Amino acid sequence: MIITRRATVQGLGLGALLPLMPRLALGQPANLVSRPIPSSGELMPVVGLGTWITFNVGDDPVLKDECAAVLAAFFESGGRMVDSSPMYGSSQPTIGYGLRKLRYPERLFSAEKVWISDPTRGTAQIEASRAYWGVETFDLMQVHNLVSWEEHLPALFEMKASGQIRYVGITTSEGRRHREIERVMASEPIDFVQITYNILDREVEERILPLAKEKGIGVIVNRPFRQKRLIRQFEDEPLPAWLDETGALSWAQFLLKFIISHPAVTCAIPATTRVDHVRENLEAATGILPDERSRRRMVDYVEAL
């Protein structure tokens, strides 16, 4: 039996002091490639964790524990950004369950969304999300899929000014409403934009990623694997003979390294239910990243498959 600090404190009759215990010190994380958030300079590891579908497990105790294990592996490997939304079913309470188990790792960067068409109910929704996570404040609050963004953004900027959140962002996915996204990026002082970008969906390279770079807006990339479909599409194909120049060891890392090697990208947020996969994803943020020439080779290679 391993004697834990919790057991020792309780055994000594000092259970009341448990809340004062320092947060769980997770193992020394790997040295992950990190990029500064443009608006603040705060460093962010380039691989985060999405929760769409994967953390929507209801109240199933077995699956909740599996998600908590994914979170534990994510933080142990040095990850920071965890992203969710009120649209994701039970994902928010599942995150809260995992974070409570892990005693709220200090390196958590909480990225949430407001997703409600009635702007007067935005604050209440954010508060409900906060209660599910069990955090004091969110680091980043994004307007999900641009729903009522004209009304939500001023409220989010006020929350940022009063210290209730640290960053403000907007999101879209799968190439939708890019013109509107550009308009918001050009006219509003947002910190982050979240878009879909992967080796086959590269439309954002034309205008949105350069605009983000120009305006100093951080970029979060969702659906890096097209919800697993890219992995399934390529997993039976051989990896290129020149894999060394990408720094990848697997198809998942090949696909992730393509995304995070774009200089405008701040963080990609693949979702998974598996501990080995979350470790593999974070390992993509170690070692070398492909340069521009290798990135072009990567595109040519997968398009020829």
Partner 1 sequence: MSDWITYRLVDFLMFSPRVYYRLVERYNHDVWPLQIIFIAGGLFVLMLAVRRKNRAIAFPALAIAWAFCAWQFLWMRYAVINWPVSYAAAAFLLQAGLIVVSIRPAGAPPPAVRLYGGIGLMLLGLIAYPLLAPFAGRSIASAESFGLMPDPTATTTLGAVLALSPKPPWLLLPIPLLWCAVSGLTLWALQDPGAWVPFASIVATLALVLLSRR
How far is residue 28 from each of residues 42, 77, 147, 267, measured CA to CA in Å? Answer: 20, 8, 40, 21
Contact 266, 219 (CB under 8 A): yes
Which of these ranges, 58-66, 100-108, 154-162, 184-192, lies near partner 1 under the rule CB under 8 A? 58-66
Nearer to partner 1, 272 or 281 (CB): 272
Determine if residue 85 is left, alpha or beta; phi over 0 gives left, psi from -120 to 50 gives alpha, anything else beta: beta
Strand, coil or helix: 288 = coil
> Rule CB under 8 A: which of 38-57 touch partner 1?
52-54, 56-57
**Which of 176, 183, 232, 296 is close enough to bind partner 1 by CB under 8 A?**
176
**Which of 29, 134, 175, 287 is close enough to bind partner 1 by CB under 8 A?**
175
> Rule CB under 8 A: which of 182-241 touch partner 1?
227
- The contact pattern for partner 1, residues 74-113, with x = CB under 8 A and - = no contact, is -------------xxxx-----------------------
Nearer to partner 1, 53 or 288 (CB): 53
> What is the size of the binding site for partner 1 (CB under 8 A)?
20
Residues facing 81 on adjacent strands: 109
Residue 53 C-beta: closest distance to partner 1, Å: 6
How far is residue 117 from each of residues 122, 154, 156, measured CA to CA in Å? Answer: 8, 15, 15
Distance between CA atoms of residues 113 and 208, nearest Å: 20
Answer yes or no whether residue 134 interacts with partner 1 by CB under 8 A: no
Answer yes or no whether residue 177 interacts with partner 1 by CB under 8 A: yes
Closest C-alpha to 54, from 280, 282, 274:
274
Nearer to partner 1, 52 or 133 (CB): 52
CA torsion sign for 49, 53, 231, 305 is: negative
**Which of 40, 43, 60, 235 is close enough to bind partner 1 by CB under 8 A?**
60
Element spanning 139, H or E: strand 138-143
Give the strand pairing for 34-36 and 138-143.
unpaired
Which of these ranges, 32-40, 172-180, 233-241, 242-250, lies near partner 1 under the rule CB under 8 A? 172-180
**Which of 59, 158, 206, 214 is close enough to bind partner 1 by CB under 8 A?**
59
Residues facing 221 on adjacent strands: 195, 268
Q: Which residues bind partner 1 (CB under 8 A)?
A: 52-54, 56-60, 62-63, 87-90, 174-177, 227, 273
